[in-house]
A and B are shown apart, each in its own frame.
Chain A
Amino acid sequence: MRSMTAVLDRTRHGRFALAALLAAAVAMAVPFYFAPFQVFQLTMVLVYAVALAGLNLLVGFGGQISLGHGAFFAAGAYTAAIMLDRFDTGHLATLPVAAAACFLLGLGFGVPALRLRGLYLALVTLSLAVFLPPLLKRLEAVTGGSMGLTVEKPQPPAWSGLAEDQWSYFVVLAVSAVALLVARNLLRSRVGRALLAVRDNESAAEVMGVRLSLHKTFAFAWSAMFAGVAGCLYTWVIGFVSPDSFSFVLSITLLAGLVVGGLASLYGPLLGAAFVMYVPSVAQDLSEAAPGVVFGLLIIAVMFVAPTGLAGLASRAGGAVARRRAGAAASDRSSVAEPPPESTSEPSAPRTPVDPESVEAEPVGAPPRTEKE
């Protein structure tokens, strides 16, 4: 039995490596097979993916909600734009500064907002997202006001022989790959495990000695940092920032994308980013309101039927296949989002299809976490 799992494990590792290699090869080849506008769109998908990976740390794993990640995205974008415009620092220097600035900003707002329930974080971030655009307009001397700032995009070095859009793509690909890896490793670290503990059971985690508000605040700061990095990349790719690009709608769209892509999944942000990029551009052809209708309905639908989002569906389907192949219960439900909203409070609802007779007995006194015996 043990050797069997080991084999399974090894093949899974092998398959993962193979898939990663394949993905890398495809990612490298993409800009040579698509038109510049399509390459630009893919680049933006990567940019959003970084922001969503950050939001995922907070929402999917931290169980907190931010309705204002657009504000941190904007802060990162403006930091980069101002550095390029006023101080001519060169692109590379803007990245760490934008990241650090947003990390500190997140820390600053996280401290008061996270002393209590996560709800207040949602309120504070929402107010921040609404407040930021008029503030940016007001600080005209630095931000260029409503007109915004136009900055230079990173230029491909002569040796590469690449066009501007291709170079942007590769630069963003490199940064986002690193960012996604960092996000992944953060989750596997002590911090990540503490976050999961907090999300799954706050009071129990606290009893176990997890310093709750500290972890939540740092999760928020990390998350803001990722949004800032994404904003910085945005400035590089677009070469232009203006207050109206970062309205409250951006924040809501980011959250929507994450939820649809899949909370608490490692691939969710990528899928969600594709959503954020393509759904508006497709739906907008129908009507100005269509993207909102689609996003709104999708969010609600996802929460109803598949709280793990697209990524969850995929891994569930994958799990089912693996189970059939291995003939064993796949423990592969790595996606650890909320349990489906069962209506446990509704005893008149139909009984669970699982026949209790077949269930192994005796976990006396160890009921699931929400109910007391």
Chain B
Amino acid sequence: MSGPPIDGTEAGETAERDFLKVSGLRAGYGQARVLHGLDFSVARGEVCAVLGPNGAGKTTTLRALCGMIRGRGSVTLNGAELLGRSPEQAARLGVAHVPEGRGTFNELTVEENLRIGAHLRTRGRWRGRGERAAVAADLERIYEYFPKLRQRSRQAAGSLSGGEQQMLAIGRALMLRPALLLLDEPSLGLAPLVTRELFEIVRTVNQEERTTVVVVEQNAQLALDIAHQAHVLEAGRLVLSGSAAQIREDGQVAEVYLGVPARSGQGG
């Protein structure tokens, strides 16, 4: 998995730069191949946006990363291979996936949803006296990020609005203390104002907790606003990679692949 032995600092730097390393990722559903070999890396603590038109394979990429579908090639997180693992195993390695459509536990209360997020931390190798207190502290922290959730902590998740459910889904994922947070179309079906608020919180979380984030978005402008790196996916292949600024400046690319007129004053 790792290359020839090299000196400590260099290896350390590589590990930082290739915190998430995707090589030759191929995946699909049954006979239908969707991804045809993706290669990209995400450095520790960075936000990576994956953009592209509908059906390009964005969601499939995330699903392969978290073990919801099988993928081929190699995906390592901090050196550990993710492919070939089930979602529960991936979660144990620190991958928290917020699926499209949020996937909240609608019959459970908001607080129960969050506690389920921390389920892994109170058992197995993490179990310990300190961890219970840490979970309680994290719950408090999530409520600070999302004050609306605190107000509704005893309410069933199903009774929340779409935006609140998305917040809850992200909150639940954060309760895992993830090494890697995967966000699938967080803006889907939400009002623009709510979406912007949500992305601001993701940015804050990323800055404060140094959580590495891969976000898949249709709304390229929003995603690029919070991302460090970005990749454009088309028909299962990466057609463009670069820093968020580069992608945003590439007017033609933006127009062709993202369907947004470049820098047309949209968003603000």
Q: Does A356 contact B (CB under 8 A)?
A: yes
Which residues of chain A have C-beta atoms less than 8 A from B54's C-beta?
365
Which residues of chain B have C-beta atoms less than 8 A from A361's C-beta?
33, 36, 236
Q: Is the interface of A mostly helix, strand, loop or mixed?
A: loop
Cβ-defined partner of B29 (8 Å) among A346, A351, A354, A371 = A371
The docked-state distance in angstroms from the alpha carbon of A373 to that of B27 is 11
A368 touches B32 (CB 8 A): yes
A364 touches B86 (CB 8 A): no
Total A residues in contact with B, Cβ cutoff 8 Å: 18
Task: Report the minimum CB–CB distance from A32 to chain B (whole Å).
Answer: 52
Cβ-defined partner of B86 (8 Å) among A348, A356, A363, A365 = A348
A347 touches B87 (CB 8 A): yes
Which of B2-10, B67-75, B102-110, B120-128 is the contact stretch? B67-75
Task: Report the minimum CB–CB distance from A340 to chain B (whole Å).
Answer: 12
Which residues of chain B have C-beta atoms less than 8 A from A1's C-beta?
none
Which residues of chain A have C-beta atoms less than 8 A from B69's C-beta?
347, 371
The docked-state distance in angstroms from the alpha carbon of A372 to that of B56 is 13
A368 touches B26 (CB 8 A): no
The docked-state distance in angstroms from the alpha carbon of A348 to that of B89 is 10
Cβ-defined partner of B236 (8 Å) among A346, A364, A372 = A364
Task: Report the minimum CB–CB distance from B191 to chain A (whole Å).
Answer: 23
Which residues of chain A have C-beta atoms less than 8 A from B55's C-beta?
364-365, 373
Question: Which A residues, 342 to 373, have Cβ-Cβ distances below 8 Å to chain B?
Answer: 346-348, 351, 354, 356, 359, 361-368, 371-373
| A349, closest chain B residue (CB) | B70
Task: Report the minimum CB–CB distance from A367 to chain B (whole Å).
Answer: 4
| A351, closest chain B residue (CB) | B70
The docked-state distance in angstroms from the alpha carbon of A368 to that of B100 is 18
B26 touches A373 (CB 8 A): no
A356 touches B28 (CB 8 A): yes
The docked-state distance in angstroms from the alpha carbon of A365 to that of B53 is 11
The docked-state distance in angstroms from the alpha carbon of A365 to that of B30 is 13
A354 touches B31 (CB 8 A): yes
Which residues of chain B have C-beta atoms less than 8 A from A351's C-beta?
70, 72
B29 touches A362 (CB 8 A): no
Best-buried of B30, B55, B57, B69 by chain A (most CB within 10 Å):
B30
The docked-state distance in angstroms from the alpha carbon of A371 to that of B59 is 12
| A371, closest chain B residue (CB) | B29
A373 touches B59 (CB 8 A): yes
| B235, closest chain A residue (CB) | A364
B30 touches A368 (CB 8 A): yes
A364 touches B87 (CB 8 A): no
Task: Report the minimum CB–CB distance from A369 to chain B (whole Å).
Answer: 10
Q: Does B60 contact A (CB under 8 A)?
A: yes
The docked-state distance in angstroms from the alpha carbon of A366 to that of B236 is 13
Which residues of chain B have C-beta atoms less than 8 A from A362's C-beta?
33, 235
The docked-state distance in angstroms from the alpha carbon of A347 to that of B29 is 12
Q: Does B84 contact A (CB under 8 A)?
A: yes
Known: A361-B36, A366-B32. Is A356-B26 also a contact (CB below 8 A)? yes
Task: Report the minimum CB–CB distance from A13 to chain B (whole Å).
Answer: 30
Best-buried of A359, A362, A365 by chain B (most CB within 10 Å):
A365
Which residues of chain A have C-beta atoms less than 8 A from B67's C-beta?
347
A367 touches B32 (CB 8 A): yes
A-B contact pairs, 13 of them (CB 8 A): A347-B70, A348-B84, A348-B85, A348-B89, A356-B26, A359-B31, A359-B33, A363-B32, A364-B32, A364-B56, A364-B236, A373-B29, A373-B34
Which B residues lie at the A interface, using CB under 8 A? Answer: 26, 28-34, 36, 54-57, 59-60, 67-70, 72, 84-87, 89, 100, 235-236
